[in-house]
Amino acid sequence: MRARRLDQEVAWVTGASRGIGRAIAVALAREGATVALLARQADDLYAVAQEIGALGRRAAVAPVDVADEASVSAATKQARSTLGAPTILVNCAGIGVFKPLIETTAMEWDRIMAVNARGAFLMCRAAAPDMVAAGQGCIVNVASVVGVKGYVNQGAYTASKHALLGLTKVLAQELQPHGVRVHAICPGGVDTGLVADARPDLDRSALMRPQEIADLVILLVSQRGNAIIDQINVRRASSAPWFE
């Protein structure tokens, strides 16, 4: 088997059961990485693991609720014992509620913040010590274009992605002296179930594909040298406003 770019890497990917997370997990495996698949739906994760196995790569299924500290601890312990210490972490788990802020319940607000922001924090906290000890590693947080602007009917989702970007910026500074790179990707409209729920008005044929975001993750985790990409804002190639 020929050497591939990520042959020596162990990647943890949250939200790996579908959409962008699934595309990222498969893309990492295709480039040679061993992949721990983390999401709530175990059945869907096993299907992804089977796809990765067909590529000749190893994958481990670790069901998790990223918002729950005990669940994250158990899942990451399982992933570490099965595949070894992580060298790559991709936080892609995310949910949304799409309605005016004044109609958003406190329970909805808390759940979105817990998954989209707290979940990434818990995963980073679980993976970063291994990377610091190794003196190298890469964390990619998949945010959203709403993390850099406001968007009607997406108040709680927007706030959670702003929080994720803030976390990313601080963590990048804290971990850089230890050889660990931390990046954010802020996609506009991607053809996923989440975007279909948020913007049913969009022409899905004009949306970006999950694989296109996965390609950017491969670029980031393969990056070597002194240059660092802090954040990538990516939009669809159409005449629509840039934020879509």
Residues 6+ apart with CB under 8 A from 109: 156, 159
Beta bridge partners of 37: 13, 61
- Which of 23, 72, 117, 157 is catalytic? The answer is 157
| Residue 77 dihedral angles phi and psi, to the nearest 5° | -65, -45
Question: 46 catalytic, yes or no?
Answer: no
Q: Of 189, 214, 115, which is closest to residue 156 (Cα–Cα)?
A: 115
Residue 109 host element (H or E): helix 106-113
Contact 89, 127 (CB under 8 A): yes
Angle at 96 between CA 76 and CA 124, to 5 degrees: 25
- Across the beta sheet with 10-14, the strand order is 59-63, 34-39, 10-14, 88-91, 137-142, 180-187, 231-234
Beta bridge partners of 180: 137
Distance CA 118, CA 164 (A): 9
- Among residues 120, 122, 99, 121, which one has the least CA distance to residue 109? 99
Residues known to be catalytic: 157
